[in-house]
Structure 1
Amino acid sequence: MAQVIMGPAMLIVLCCCLVTVTPFTEEQLLRATNYIRQHLTGRINNQYAYIAVFTTAQCRELTDANLRDALRQENADDLMTTIEQHRIYIGTQIVAASFLRLNNGGAMHAEARLLNGEGEAPSPVADLLNRNQDKGCVLFYTLNSPCTGVCARIGGEYNILDRLTDVFNRINNKALVYNDVYIGDLNRKPDTVWDAWKEINARIPFYRCFSRNCYRCFINNNPNNPCYYN
């Protein structure tokens, strides 16, 4: 049997070809969410959510230049008008939705509209991921935190927990980010909210981002207070 001897030069070449996947940093998430708010969603005041996908190369730093390049084909006016009219925006690197009032007085939440398809059609986010082969990292943003009464309700009929698993299970670098705590959850027992959020965090890393800071909501599986308390 022939013996293959691998010299130092070949080892160097092979090591340089290895691709490492590093998770989002708080700095990257802050930069990305601020950039998208400033350039794409600025005038939207009501609850909305979006999912953006970036290439592996863009994800390494997510600088303003990388973000500008990634989102250059998105039309800000079209995106904001679509959201304000309670329709779903389908872009090249981003999909976005508002909540939708139903005839029965209820509402379809923005997060669910992005994660759930109609009939046999793929969901907006599944379609987005299918169209982008290089999925280096995926950012899921919602203005208000997923409510614990519906979206994050364990065992609830309309929760998004299973969909988070189904949609993002093959994405190594991902994050779900919110800005404000859903107002209804400020009146719940904090332990109830943290228990629901822990279920989200088990499926996708969960963060809160203000204009100047981002916080990982669980550190070593322990709640991080800035995610709930202002």
Structure 2
Amino acid sequence: MWCQWEVVVQKFTVFLSGLLLLFLLPDWTESVEDTVDINTLARIIDFFEKNYKRVDTDGHPRQYATAINVPKDQCQQNFNLNTFLTQENAVDVKNAITDETNALYQGSELIAAGTRKVVISKKKQYNMHSESLLLNPADNSPMSKLLNKRKEDSCSVFYTFESPCVDTCLDATGSHNIIDGLKKWKEHDGIKAFVFKDFWKFDIKKDLQTAFKQIAAHVPLFRCVSENECYACNGEGNTPIDAHCLPPKEI
């Protein structure tokens, strides 16, 4: 009699476990689907490079950054180039970010920035970096305003041509750091991707493993180097930054 009762209890336990899984499965499936498609991400970054990239008259590329907030299907496998960022004019974007007195474009689904020249005196001036222009001040930045335009079923991608610099953008104690802006972005629902292509030339020998983990702690980090080559950098928690997202080690 006791054995029969034990069998009944075991079957009931299995039934409850299956029922719980049935209730949890839709949420789990949604979380798996709500990630950027890596091949689509490569196409998006290639679109940025072809339409907004800053290039000197001698052909030398210059730093710029851009961000989008679009319907989430634009970041998945059914990406359609014909309906992508149709409200933005590429010439207007490039003209705006090339003007170093402002260096900022704010559109319907896209924002972009070059580098802004800030003159303190005749002998002292500096360039405000494009990432900082888009992500600061965190509560009222161009990025926060862009995210507020579409709060549901969205995909937000932030792309910077050169990786955020260690001494300014990723210095948590500095006045121009982007960390607070990333924290604010983390609160936004939907697909997210922070992407870079090249390494900031003055940071090649610095500890980018530690620096980049500051980004990955808040939003997924990627490196895209061509129209068909992107890498997930990882770096969340105790996971190291993937080698594809770090400068090659010196031999």
Fold conserved between structures, TM > 0.5: yes
AA aligned to 2:87 is Q
- Would the alpha carbon gap of residues 203 and 219 (structure 1) be closer, same or farther in structure 2, given more than 3 Å must change? closer
What are the equivalent positions in structure 2 for 1:1-230 lying under 5 Å apart?
21-38=33-50, 40-42=51-53, 44=55, 45-61=61-77, 63=79, 65=80, 67-86=81-100, 87-104=103-120, 105-117=125-137, 122-188=140-206, 192-211=207-226, 212-218=228-234, 221-229=239-247
Kindly tell me the number of residue pairs found equivalent between the two proteins: 207
Deviations 1:83-130 (A, max 9, x none): 111321111110001111211322211011111149xx9321122122
1:68 is displaced (CA, Å) by 3.0
Does the 8 Å CA contact 2:147/2:188 hold for their aligned counterparts?
no
> How many angstroms apart in 1 are the aligned matches of 2:208 and 2:38?
22
SS of 2:174 mapped into structure 1: coil
> How many angstroms apart in 2 are the aligned matches of 1:81 and 1:182?
23
TM-score, normalised via structure 1 length: 0.80
SS of 2:52 mapped into structure 1: coil
The answer for the alignment partner of 2:4 in structure 1 is none
1:61 is displaced (CA, Å) by 2.2
User: Rg: which structure is higher?
Assistant: 2
> How many angstroms apart in 1 are the aligned matches of 2:112 and 2:97?
7
The structure, 1 or 2, with the larger RCO (C-alpha pairs under 8 Å, 6+ apart) is: 1
More moved, 133-142 vs 198-207: 133-142
Structure 2 residues without counterparts, runs of 5 or longer: 1-21, 56-60
Deviations 1:177-205 (A, max 9, x none): 011000010132xxx22101101110111
SS of 1:34 mapped into structure 2: helix
> How many angstroms apart in 2 are the aligned matches of 1:74 and 1:137?
17
Does the 8 Å CA contact 2:37/2:75 hold for their aligned counterparts?
no
User: RMSD of aligned C-alpha atoms?
Assistant: 2.4
SS of 1:222 mapped into structure 2: coil
- Would the alpha carbon gap of residues 204 and 62 (structure 1) be closer, same or farther in structure 2, given more than 3 Å must change? farther
Deviations 1:30-75 (A, max 9, x none): 011112322x214543111111111133333252x2x431311110
4+ residue runs over 6 A deviation: none
More moved, 144-153 vs 42-51: 42-51
Does the 8 Å CA contact 1:148/1:185 hold for their aligned counterparts?
yes
> How many angstroms apart in 2 are the aligned matches of 1:60 and 1:176?
16
- Would the alpha carbon gap of residues 126 and 218 (structure 1) be closer, same or farther in structure 2, given more than 3 Å must change? same
Deviations 1:186-226 (A, max 9, x none): 132xxx22101101110111111011311112267122112
SS of 1:178 mapped into structure 2: strand
